[in-house]
């Protein structure tokens, strides 16, 4: 395990090791199709400026009244500057604090917001209601694309993978988040 100073020094010596935000995925799961899902979709479009994509249920759960293949959630994927802008607003809601448990072993992190009206600049609309949302952030180093590209795919070596400690240092530096 490297200390924060060692990680920062490593990034200065080799800039291709410094991570970046690949994408931010915002998810609102309503649990039923129809009008509530349309309202959630409207909220996401209003917050992000992008058209949300609907997601279907994977299996039937009779107790909750969910059928397999029925749309129950909507998501939006944000990249580059839109992702940074939305992430700064969303982190403001959780007082710029994240738990260590929010980070996975690949350096990605996720957190939730209970009420979308807590975001700065959003007003309560009684016709729409209040929705909670999950925000998942994927971090990666430059060159990580070789794993996903179509032609000449290759594995990413273990030394080039992002660790949770490096992700925490990156989030502290770029977004000003306190990690508890």
The verdict on domain 4-179 having CATH code 3.40.50.300 is no
Beta bridge partners of residue 27, listed in sequence order: 75, 134
Helix (H) / strand (E) containing 169: helix 164-175
Per-residue pLDDT of the chain (180 residues; tens, 9 = 90+): 788 889 999 999 998 899 999 999 999 998 888 888 899 999 999 889 999 999 988 988 888 888 898 898 999 999 999 999 999 999 999 999 999 999 999 889 999 999 888 888 888 888 888 889 999 999 999 988 888 899 999 998 888 888 999 999 999 999 989 998
Q: For the purposes of burial, counting CB atoms within 10 Å of the CB of 1, is it exposed (0-12), middle (13-18) or buried (19 or more)?
A: exposed
What is the per-residue pLDDT for 32?
82
Helix (H) / strand (E) containing 86: helix 80-93
Q: Are 98 and 170 in contact (CB under 8 A)?
A: no
Q: Residue 23 and residue 140: Cα distance in Å, rounded? A: 9
Task: Read off the pTM.
Answer: 0.87
> C-alpha distances in angstroms, 52 versus 76, 92, 96, 107?
5, 23, 26, 26
């Amino acid at each position: 395990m490297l200390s924060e100073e060692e990680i920062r020094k490593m990034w200065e010596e080799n800039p291709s090791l410094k991570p970046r935000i690949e994408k931010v995925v915002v998810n609102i799961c309503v649990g039923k199709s129809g009008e509530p899902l349309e309202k959630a979709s409207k909220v996401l479009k209003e917050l992000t400026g992008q058209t949300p994509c609907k997601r279907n249920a994977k299996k039937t759960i009779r107790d909750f009244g969910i059928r397999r293949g029925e749309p129950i959630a909507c998501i939006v994927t944000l990249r580059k500057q839109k992702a940074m802008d939305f992430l700064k607003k969303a982190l403001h809601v959780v007082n710029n604090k994240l738990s260590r448990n929010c980070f996975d072993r690949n350096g990605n992190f996720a957190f939730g917001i209970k009420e979308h009206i807590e975001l700065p600049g959003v007003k309560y609309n009684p016709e729409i209601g209040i929705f909670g949302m999950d925000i998942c952030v994927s971090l990666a180093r430059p060159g990580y694309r070789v794993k996903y590209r179509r032609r000449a795919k290759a594995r990413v070596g273990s030394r080039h993978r992002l660790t949770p400690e490096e992700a925490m240092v990156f989030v502290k530096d770029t977004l000003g988040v306190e990690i508890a």
